[in-house]
Amino acid sequence: MTDDHIQHTWRLANADGGEISIDLWTDGENVRVDGGPDDGHDDDRGQTAVDQLLAKYTAAGYRLVRDYPVNDPAPLDDEAPDVEPDGKPEACPECGSPVEYDPNHCSDYREGPAWLCTGCRWGQYLVA
Ligand SMILES: [Zn+2]
């Protein structure tokens, strides 16, 4: 079996020789349990599920033997356009308020990524 889809694995054991492994998949969502009372259990809540499972098993007498990264997380969907580019003005040149990034600012004459003042609504389109 390949582990290409595994991002991180936690291994637990108890005094009776019981073993559990928890795998977090590279999508950061899927979690799979092998062994123990939840053998074959699937979850899609990522790290939240891992934390809950670890707490549950630790309370049940298991201890974490080791955990280790397996593969890098899958690259995030780069469709998300709200990653802020470089060159953000420190403050609005008009009123000094903080400036925020708007990936799709619309005005009468133009549409596109822009810096916008949170105070006076001064705006400046980014130069492509
Ligand atoms: Zn301003």
Q: What is the pLDDT of residues 14-55, one digit of tens each?
A: 999 999 999 999 999 999 999 999 999 999 999 999 999 999
pLDDT at 124: 87
Cα–ligand 1 centroid distance for 29 (angstroms):
40
Q: Percentage of residues in the chain with pLDDT exceeding 70?
A: 93
pLDDT at 78: 55
C-alpha 115 – ligand 1 centre gap (Å): 11
- In the reported structure, the alpha carbon of residue 123 is separated from the centroid of ligand 1 by a whole-number distance in angstroms of 8
Q: Is the pLDDT of residue 6 over 80?
A: yes
Cα separation, 4 vs 126, whole angstroms: 40
Distance CA 67, CA 51 (A): 13
Comparison of pLDDT for 77 and 96, the residue scoring more? 96
pTM above 0.95, yes or no: no
Q: How far is the CA of 100 from the centre of ligand 1 (A)?
A: 11
Cα 80 to ligand 1 centroid, rounded to whole Å: 27
Q: CA-to-CA distance for 24 and 10, rounded, in angstroms?
A: 9
